[in-house]
Amino acid sequence: MIRIGILGNIGSGKSYIAKNFGFPVFNADLEVAKLYQKDKKIFKKLKSILPKIFKSFPIKKKKVLEAILADKNNLKKIIKIVHLEIKKKMKIFLNQNKNSQIVILDIPLLLENKINKKNDILIFVQANKKEILKRLKKRKNFDNKVFNKFKKIQFSSNYKKKKSHFVILNDFSDKTIKIKIRNIKNQII
């Protein structure tokens, strides 16, 4: 099984690129959202470290953002709890898709949390900064302060690009993205 890790900045279109490969995708953001909605153990752990913020279940994204803005250390505390569970979910996903030729890992902090493996093929998704901001502002819960806090815990774009085997310049056009993905698949398979 070939593992492809998708890297890029927040809002660069990583999930869009991941979906267009046409192989099973592990989307960490979706898995985190499910944890907040359905996993009482996660809620209890978060409540034990931040009882003034996490008071009711299911966890609302607004409360997570509130926690991140309240104290710069809260983001790291939340990630520590949530990422353990995400790693378990990823293991299940990989087991379920062990016969797939390729799997796509759409995990925002893939390198930062050392989730990638040595033989993973890494693809960096690069997009125009103005386009990224325009797209982020359309998101329901977008908060510039939270965005900046996440940027601080991420490796730089240059570092991620250097670690990547391929770079996709995302112009958010279906036609050009499909061509770029086909070219990458032809080189990998």
Cα 99 to chain centroid, rounded: 24
The sign of the torsion formed by the CA atoms of 45, 46, 50, 53 equals negative
pLDDT at 128: 86
Give all domains of the chain, ordered by start, each with its CATH number. 2-188 (3.40.50.300)
**15 contacts 27 by C-beta, under 8 angstroms:** yes
pTM: 0.89
Strands 121-126 and 166-169: parallel
Whether the per-residue pLDDT at 76 is higher than 90: the answer is no
pLDDT at 135: 80
Q: What is the pLDDT of residues 33-48, one digit of tens each?
A: 999 999 999 999 999 9
28-38 and 61-70 helices, crossing angle to 10°: 100
pLDDT tens profile 112-158: 888 889 999 999 999 988 888 888 878 777 777 777 777 777 889 99
Task: Please give the backbone phi and psi of residue 25, each rounded to the nearest 5 degrees, phi first.
Answer: -115, 130
Angle at 19 between CA 156 and CA 163, to 5 degrees: 25
Backbone angles phi, psi at 38, to 5 degrees: -125, -10
Q: Who's near 93: CB < 8 A, 6+ residues apart?
A: 24, 26, 103
Intra-chain end-to-end CA distance of the chain, in Å:
11
